[in-house]
Amino acid sequence: MDDLDQARSIYQLMILTAWADGHLHPSEELASNGLLVQFPELLRVHDPDKLAEQVKNRLDTVGLTAALDEAAGGLRDQAHRERAFVCCARMLEADGKISVEEFGVLAALRELFALTNDDVARLLQEAARIRG
């Protein structure tokens, strides 16, 4: 998987996190745009609005679990997995409300990426320092 594919997978996971509760709040859109600018590798994502629409359609078609599995499946590099987790954690709290479904995304990513408790603590601290 090349860098563009990795960036697309990270962005897809961000959008899935935002939509997990069934709503896309304007503050989540702002957070996703901020994260695209903050992390240079995410700037490789061309036409993020179109990709977000595709992600939402996929979510509606296959459900959250399958969509997460698909998007996360290509992230084989630990650094990209950790970046995805951090970005999703940032998206989780963007609207000021953390739903059970959104929290479930982080739990699923933790399992998919085989993150330890220490990894999660470190990555959540990193996410807290980011203002997307």
In the chain, how many domains are there? 1
Q: Please write the tens of the pLDDT for every residue from 92-128.
A: 888 888 889 989 999 999 999 999 999 999 999 999 8
Rounded CA gap, 4 and 22, in Å? Answer: 27
CATH number at residue 109: 1.10.3680.10
Domain of 90 in residue numbering reads as 3-129
Q: Please write the tens of the pLDDT for every residue from 39-93.
A: 888 988 988 999 999 999 999 999 999 999 999 998 989 999 999 999 999 998 8
The enclosing H or E element of 68 equals helix 64-73
